[in-house]
Amino acid sequence: MKTILLIVLVLCITWCISPEIDQQELIKQQEIQKKINEKELEERRILEEERVKLKIIRAKEIEQEERAKNNLLGNDLLEETALLNKQALNVLNSEVTLVKDDQEFDIHTDNSLTRFVNNTTPYNGLEYIPQNLVSLEWEYTKDVKWWAKLRQEAADALDNLAQNYFLRFGIPLDIVSTYRSYEYQKWIKDRGCDDTLCAKAWYSEHQSGLAVDFWEASEESRFRENEDLKMYFEWMKQEAYKFWFTNTYQKGLEIDWYWIEPWHWRYVGEDLALILKEYKITFAEYIRSPESY
Ligand SMILES: [Zn+2]
């Protein structure tokens, strides 16, 4: 009997606490699962954070690479531009020391027929005015302004040149610009013409009274496109030296300090005109050249 009672008691106890044990176990398991989940979530969060960090780092790297590439390109362009500017400045600021101190021709005296001027070599006298300026009134020229003047030597030579031009083409030679005073050149510059196309006042060949501009065209391209202008210019290139004129600006900025000007001719006297023609050089080239011609 005692045994039976004991068994019943054990069974009863087991029965009574079993659900309790199950319940506790379940809670425990749930807690474990919760922790696992939390840990997983945390790990995932960390992983996600790492991924985002890596993504940001890579994006920054790409941005830096792009920037470096652009800077490199930018630097190249800047360097290239700086070099070009430097070359242009070197050309424009070539010192007078480059100028050949020629024994044969007087290139320094203002009233010398071979006086050399460029945009860094002005006249000695700021408002130098040639003494023997004469008016130009001939039948072989046209569009000559009433105030147009040249030095006597250049005017005589131009008269001959214009007559030959008339014989060749049957038309008078257009004279657009001749002597320009310091004040007149200043007035032109004040209207905004660039230094590489229009000389500064005090630095213009026109102030010498020896330079003349032909034809109503001040763009080099027109002398390549317009058949008439092309023909007149070709003739002038062949013939003008016989009248002791030279085309001052024919080789561009780096050689002549100005852009090409097919219309601008300058009287230089017989000897220099022949040398420039024979060696196919400009006055500026002659001046800067170490060789003797
Ligand atoms: Zn000119």
User: Cα(159) to centroid of ligand 1, in Å?
Assistant: 18
Which residue type, as a one-letter code, is found at position 29?
Answer: Q
The token pair at 230 is 């092309």
The pLDDT, as a whole number, for residue 194 is: 86
**Span from the CA of 264 to the centroid of ligand 1 (angstroms):** 4
In sequence order, the 6+-apart residues with CB closer than 8 A to the CB of 186 are 201
Is 155 exposed, middle or buried, given 0-12, 13-18 or 19+ CB atoms closer than 10 A? buried
Q: Nearest 5°: phi and psi at 121?
A: -125, 95
Q: How far apart are the first and last CA of the chain?
A: 149
CA 24 – ligand 1 centroid, Å: 110
Residue 130 Cα to ligand 1 midpoint, Å, equals 17
Question: Which pLDDT belongs to residue 63?
Answer: 63
Phi, psi of 261 (to 5 degrees): -130, 90
Rounded to 10 degrees, what is the CA torsion of 168, 282, 287, 121? 90
- Give the distance (Å) from ligand 1 centre to CA of residue 177: 7
- The pLDDT of residue 202 is 95
* Residue 86 pLDDT: 44
Report how far ligand 1's centroid is from the alpha carbon of 103 (Å). 27
- Report the predicted TM-score, pTM, of the whole model to 2 decimal places: 0.66
| pLDDT at res. 58 | 61
Question: Which of the residues in the chain have pLDDT under 70?
Answer: 1-21, 48-103, 290-293
Q: List pLDDT tens digits, range 180-199.
A: 999 999 999 999 888 888 89
Residue 24: what pLDDT?
84
User: pLDDT digit string (tens) for 21-38?
Assistant: 678 888 888 888 888 778
Q: Is 84 exposed, middle or buried (0-12, 13-18, 19+ CB in 10 A)?
A: exposed
pLDDT score for 32: 81
Q: How many Å lie between the centroid of ligand 1 and the Cα of residue 270? A: 20
pLDDT for position 61: 64
Q: State how far the Cα of 221 lies from the Cα of 199, in Å rounded to an integer.
A: 20
Q: Give the distance (Å) from ligand 1 centre to CA of residue 135.
A: 18
Neighbours of 148 (CB within 10 A): 20
**211 CA from centroid of ligand 1 (Å):** 6
Residues sharing a CB contact under 8 Å with residue 275, sequence separation 6 or more, in sequence order:
281, 286, 293
